[in-house]
Structure 1
Amino acid sequence: MKKNVITRILTVSLAVLLCMACTSVHKQGETVDASVFGLKPDTGKDASSFIRKALEYCTRHHVAKLIIEPGRYDFYPEQTFETYLFISNNHDGLKSVAFLLKGMVDFEISAPGAQFVFHGYTLPFVLENCRNVKLTGFSINFARTFQSEGDILSVGNGKLEVSFSEEYPFKVENERLKFYDETGKIEYPFGNLLEFDPIRKETAYMARDYYVGNNLKAEQTGPCSVRLHIPDIQGTPGNKMVFAPNHRLVPNIVVHRCEGIEVDSITMYNSGGMGFIAQMSKNLTVSKMVVTPPSGKVVSCTADATHFSNCTGKIRIEDCLFENQMDDATNIHGIYMRIKKKISPYKLLVQLVHHEQLGMDIFNPKDSVEMVDAKTMVTYAHAQIDSVKRLNKDFTEITFSDKLSEKVKINDVVGATVTPDIVLRNTVCRRNRARGVLLGSRTSISVEGCTFHIGGAAIMTGGDSQYWFEQGGVSNMTIRNNIFDNCMFGNWGRAIISLDAGEEPEPADVPRFNRNVLVENNEFRLVDSRIVSAVSVDGFVFRNNKIIRSDDYPFSSQQAEPFIMERSVHVDIEKE
């Protein structure tokens, strides 16, 4: 009996001391150390429950800073937060989230030297309806990467033989290749193949994508090797063949309807989608972010390093390194919704078309929007929204303050008119699949002091109302003091700088889709003669740029002009 009483007293005393410790720290500096909640590094145990307690405490008590000590922390999905998410350009679904920040204001997670390692399909960070939040100092990695990387043994006659290390457990079941985690329970399905050069640690010269699904005929040829039947497959023995995931289920950091978010000095080694994705948010800063592969691998994030959808205010990307991801370094754009029905002179039924944009609430009452011809991308009318009624993840009813223009027609698209100021500065983009940066804004864009080494276009702009439905077009764009180092050694672009427009020519008497583009004081080291491809530009200046022919790669056999200008006016190109 006495023993039970003593035990109870000790338990209550410990709880009181814990509470006092937290309160004391909170009062003294509005700072809490996560160790107070039992979080310890390098244990190998699941850290999810301790982080959950810490974040719940910080939310209740309006803590200003949560500190996490250096060391490794492992996160498993069993005790994470759970929430259903619609994520632009990623796949929606019910997510297991390790760090879920909802409604946080004036808050920072500071974790210099902390290594966050996630297991399975655990999504690292979600910030929702937050303001003035900073994440700094830590790294993100996964115990099992979402891609599988194999060594090419032989290629020929529609067959590819590849060997895999023990990091990529696999089985051949019913003549189908399937990848698993170390437990053999979690599957990692693949959707496309891409060859990488392990010496240069980049996509192989002129490599192409093989979109194969997960239905290739396979036969196991050894304990660690498999032969796949792929028509027209090409590759070089000794190179790496990357089996990329057929989904984008697990981006690393998701920012939704937030303002004043800063991500500083974070390293990302892998992801199951975008590295950093922000949507419907304002004033975002990404600084000193490093996206790079884990040791011995050739792929980092399995999609874009960073991505911004329907964001406003100022977007700043500075002093970053984005390398070896399976898609672009950044993509900044809006979303077009397709007009499905004119319900009344004041009301439209609109649709989100691409499956990776479903569920996006991109419009709000009092927003100004543009009506855009789906073929020419010409904006022919503007309107102000009175009310928005989302019917489901596909369809939304929009009621407007005034009567709609009679020009509005079915299958045209609707987009927002407020776009961000974009600053991309002192950043290296290299060795990734596809393009460097995709930029869209009618406000202003500045790309300065950056280095691009990209298999396709280094800088691309444009709008799309046929597949991705990404709202684009640029005004007031400056590209200055950059190095374009051996770009276009792959198959993902029409030129180093590619300014695109609609599918069909716009009428001669309407404004061009892109306007006021300045390219000056850059250095171009060429392995392909195509420097600029510009469509529908009013005001293009190319001056004081240094152009060097490189011998680092075979020079492209395409006999193309360095400057291809279509439907463009007020063009001033200064050649050496």
Structure 2
Amino acid sequence: MLKKVPLFVVLVLGLSFSLKAQKKVKVYNLETYGVLPDNGQNTAPLLQEALKKIKSEIVNTEPVVIKFKKGRYDFHPDGALKREYYISNHDQDNPKTVGIELETLKNVTIDGNGSELMFHGRMLPIALIGNSNVSLKDLRIDFEKPQITQVKIVENDTVAGSIVFETAPWVSYTIKDSTFYSTGEGWEMHPIAGMAFEKTTKRIVYNSGDIAVGTRNVSELAPGLIKAHHWKNSKLIPGTVVTMRSYYRPTPGIFVHKGKDIGFENVKVHYAEGMGLLAQLTENIYLDGFEVALRGKDDPRYFTTQADATHFSACKGEIVSKNGLYEGMMDDAINIHGTYLKIMEKIDSKTVVAKYMHGQAYGFDWGYKGDAVQFVKSKTMELWDHQNTIVSIEPVRSDKNEPIKEFKIQFKKKLGNEIDPANFDIGIENLTWTASVIFTGNTIRNNRARGALFSTPKPTLIANNLFDHTSGCAILLCGDANGWYETGSCRDVTIRDNKFVNALTSMYQFTSAVISIYPEIPDLQGQTKYFHSGIRIENNEFETFDNPILYAKSVDGLIFKNNEINTNNEYPAFHSNKQTILFERVQNAEVSDNKVDGEKAALHN
């Protein structure tokens, strides 16, 4: 059922970059600046100096291409830049060690020419800060020794409760006080959790989810062969591959901050200790052929990134992701959201103090003068009709060197007596920093948790994608002002012409069906309004071994029409939700003209 993206869409998406091609382009070849491949040298300081020279020569009005000679470039922490970055949905420790920093550039393309950028130690490979009309193309990002530790199960004595595992050839480790630690250049990590993969398919083992790993009470039987004396898991049959990790996520593979018109073409991220790509406070981002993926079918690895493949926090304009491949990551393929601030104090009728609440979301701007905002009652996730405009916003902190966590915000209009944190918890959403989305022609497969997450009130198109063995739900529409504090309500979502193959093989947060519309609402019974609206799910194909296809909560206006559901026996059905379609507080819904195994079926509960 996958269909081609209409030609007019392709033309529109490529417009911003085709305009650049109409002008005469100046090319800077990095080899003329001494940046050469395949020599094992530490490229970090050499490239840093070369970019500095090139930047001094660039005239911002002319299009520029900075080009690598094809080959492998190694980057080590020694001699690399140190920067203080506060990165959304990552651990906020500083400074970061940066391989390549591109800052305040205009009209520049970085052409990797098919090169491989190989990083060592613990680094942020590429940071794009404050750029305009800048794109990256034809390059690969990888790490010589990933912090995720891959092992293979050799023996499993389920009676004694012990497992023998073999480390992958690239893994280095040490055992201290009978505890296993993986090691690398400048780092040491104790794995505490893992994912189990089928040896031949590289799919996550059915109904396994996150597993405990036996990294304590271990002994070495031979180099690379470890016995875990107290590790019991009957699902880990010999040959199963386990990726063992911590939950630490210091940096993404690519960090985009305060940019405009940023593009990526044929860029591949094979590993990052955080997300593949994290963009924040950026206007207009275009991904064509972006991959967070293995190095092909013969890659001995089973994993890619520690967290999401791509993640967009407080971005505006449009986000376009097309023709991508996302596999083996330890979280979602894409997540688009803003961040709720929690109102801590109401100073007067127009002024509040509000705060970032999650430990991985603070330290960066939240809004600016003139931005539109709206307010949500956290327990029921009900939006006030009252919207407002920021007149002024300033950080509240005792020292200017402290990371930003609180803001004093003054609004244009009076808030009204009901918007008062003395009465109940209240979140603020920045409506200006929300984006429209086009997510088309992508493949998402063999990953942990969920496929794609969208939380934006702007038009969102999810079309012609293949969701293949996402271990949690394939698509999630969420919103939460209580835990993650990720905004917000969806108002215009089209999910059409996608194919879903055996999603939901394990249980994770918010995974109540293949498509799960699941805002976090602590007091659903007390809710009188609806959170999401305007959702159309049409002409999709579902191949499934289990029952739940669609779950929706707190929606006003939902269409599920002309979809095909084909059942199979690849796995036993296990989900606690036994209904094909399950609604909780949904009104104005249409469920029609759907088929199950070729026959028309009434699916509404």
- Equivalent position of 1:437 in the other structure: 452
Deviates more, 1:77-86 or 1:58-67: 58-67
- Equivalent position of 1:413 in the other structure: 427
- Equivalent position of 2:342 in the other structure: 338
TM-score (norm 2): 0.87
- Equivalent position of 1:572 in the other structure: 590
| Offset of residue 558 of structure 1 | 4.4
Aligned pairs (5 A) from 1:261-410: 261-294=262-295, 295-380=299-384, 381-390=386-395, 391=397, 392-410=403-421
**What SS is found at the alignment partner of 2:417?**
coil
One-letter code aligned to 2:171: Y
In structure 1, distance between residues paired with 2:46 and 2:485 = 41
2:489 to 458, 473, 480: 473
Deviates more, 1:322-331 or 1:197-206: 197-206
How many residues are treated as equivalent by the alignment? 546
One-letter code aligned to 1:337: L
- Equivalent position of 1:19 in the other structure: none
In structure 2, distance between residues paired with 1:159 and 1:351 = 47
In structure 2, distance between residues paired with 1:507 and 1:558 = 25
**What SS is found at the alignment partner of 1:393?**
coil
Structure 1 pair 312/155, CA: closer, same or farther in 2 (3 Å)?
Answer: farther
**What SS is found at the alignment partner of 2:187?**
coil
**What SS is found at the alignment partner of 1:133?**
strand
**What SS is found at the alignment partner of 1:203?**
coil
In structure 2, distance between residues paired with 1:357 and 1:68 = 35
CA shift digits 1:442-471 (9 cap, x unpaired): 111101100001111100011112221111
**What SS is found at the alignment partner of 2:54?**
helix
In structure 2, distance between residues paired with 1:215 and 1:339 = 43
Residue 46 (structure 1) aligned with residue 42 (structure 2)? yes
1:451 to 466, 470, 478: 466
Residue 89 (structure 1) aligned with residue 89 (structure 2)? yes
One-letter code aligned to 1:38: G
- Equivalent position of 1:173 in the other structure: 176
CA shift digits 1:520-568 (9 cap, x unpaired): 1111101111000000111111111111002233333646110001100
| Offset of residue 186 of structure 1 | 2.7
- Equivalent position of 2:142 in the other structure: 141
In structure 1, distance between residues paired with 2:577 and 2:275 = 36
Q: Structure 1: which 5+ runs fail to align?
A: 1-26
One-letter code aligned to 2:220: Q
TM-score (norm 1): 0.91
Deviates more, 1:377-386 or 1:430-439: 377-386
- Equivalent position of 1:490 in the other structure: 506
Deviates more, 1:321-330 or 1:222-231: 222-231
| Offset of residue 200 of structure 1 | 1.2
| Offset of residue 508 of structure 1 | 6.3
One-letter code aligned to 2:558: F
Deviates more, 1:334-343 or 1:225-234: 225-234
CA shift digits 1:49-68 (9 cap, x unpaired): 22112211232222611011
Structure 1 pair 451/81, CA: closer, same or farther in 2 (3 Å)?
Answer: same
Structure 1 pair 364/557, CA: closer, same or farther in 2 (3 Å)?
Answer: closer
Structure 1 pair 265/222, CA: closer, same or farther in 2 (3 Å)?
Answer: same
- Equivalent position of 1:23 in the other structure: none
What percent identity do the matched residue pairs reach?
26
Q: CA RMSD in A?
A: 2.0
**What SS is found at the alignment partner of 1:50?**
helix
CA shift digits 1:78-117 (9 cap, x unpaired): 1222111100011222111111111111111011211110
Structure 1 pair 232/349, CA: closer, same or farther in 2 (3 Å)?
Answer: farther
- Equivalent position of 1:505 in the other structure: 524
Deviates more, 1:435-444 or 1:337-346: 337-346
One-letter code aligned to 2:82: E
In structure 2, distance between residues paired with 1:215 and 1:556 = 30
In structure 2, distance between residues paired with 1:466 and 1:232 = 35
CA shift digits 1:1-41 (9 cap, x unpaired): xxxxxxxxxxxxxxxxxxxxxxxxxx984210001110111
- Is the CA contact 1:51–1:99 (under 8 Å) kept in the aligned structure 2? yes
Residue 550 (structure 1) aligned with residue 565 (structure 2)? no
In structure 2, distance between residues paired with 1:379 and 1:547 = 35
One-letter code aligned to 2:108: F
CA shift digits 1:102-158 (9 cap, x unpaired): 111111101121111001112111111111000000111101012001111325355
One-letter code aligned to 1:471: T
2:55 to 27, 34, 59: 59
Structure 1 pair 406/557, CA: closer, same or farther in 2 (3 Å)?
Answer: closer
Structure 1 pair 81/226, CA: closer, same or farther in 2 (3 Å)?
Answer: same
- Equivalent position of 1:528 in the other structure: 546
In structure 1, distance between residues paired with 2:140 and 2:495 = 31
**What SS is found at the alignment partner of 1:57?**
helix
Aligned pairs (5 A) from 1:161-240: 161-181=164-184, 185-210=186-211, 216-228=216-228, 233-234=233-234, 235-240=236-241
Structure 1 pair 357/558, CA: closer, same or farther in 2 (3 Å)?
Answer: closer
- Is the CA contact 2:191–2:215 (under 8 Å) kept in the aligned structure 1? no
CA shift digits 1:194-230 (9 cap, x unpaired): 2111211021111121367x98443334332333466
CA shift digits 1:396-450 (9 cap, x unpaired): 2212223222122323211111321100000001100110000111111101100
- Is the CA contact 2:381–2:527 (under 8 Å) kept in the aligned structure 1? no
| Offset of residue 500 of structure 1 | 1.3
In structure 2, distance between residues paired with 1:49 and 1:479 = 46
- Is the CA contact 1:67–1:109 (under 8 Å) kept in the aligned structure 2? yes
- Is the CA contact 2:380–2:527 (under 8 Å) kept in the aligned structure 1? no
In structure 2, distance between residues paired with 1:348 and 1:215 = 48
One-letter code aligned to 2:461: S
Deviates more, 1:137-146 or 1:167-176: 167-176
In structure 2, distance between residues paired with 1:385 and 1:496 = 39
| Offset of residue 192 of structure 1 | 1.8
- Is the CA contact 1:163–1:226 (under 8 Å) kept in the aligned structure 2? yes
In structure 2, distance between residues paired with 1:442 and 1:416 = 11
- Equivalent position of 1:80 in the other structure: 80
**What SS is found at the alignment partner of 1:58?**
helix
One-letter code aligned to 1:173: K
Structure 1 pair 366/538, CA: closer, same or farther in 2 (3 Å)?
Answer: same
Residue 254 (structure 1) aligned with residue 268 (structure 2)? no
**What SS is found at the alignment partner of 2:188?**
coil
In structure 2, distance between residues paired with 1:241 and 1:280 = 36
One-letter code aligned to 1:412: I
Structure 1 pair 44/231, CA: closer, same or farther in 2 (3 Å)?
Answer: closer
Structure 1 pair 40/176, CA: closer, same or farther in 2 (3 Å)?
Answer: same
**What SS is found at the alignment partner of 1:55?**
helix
Residue 424 (structure 1) aligned with residue 439 (structure 2)? yes
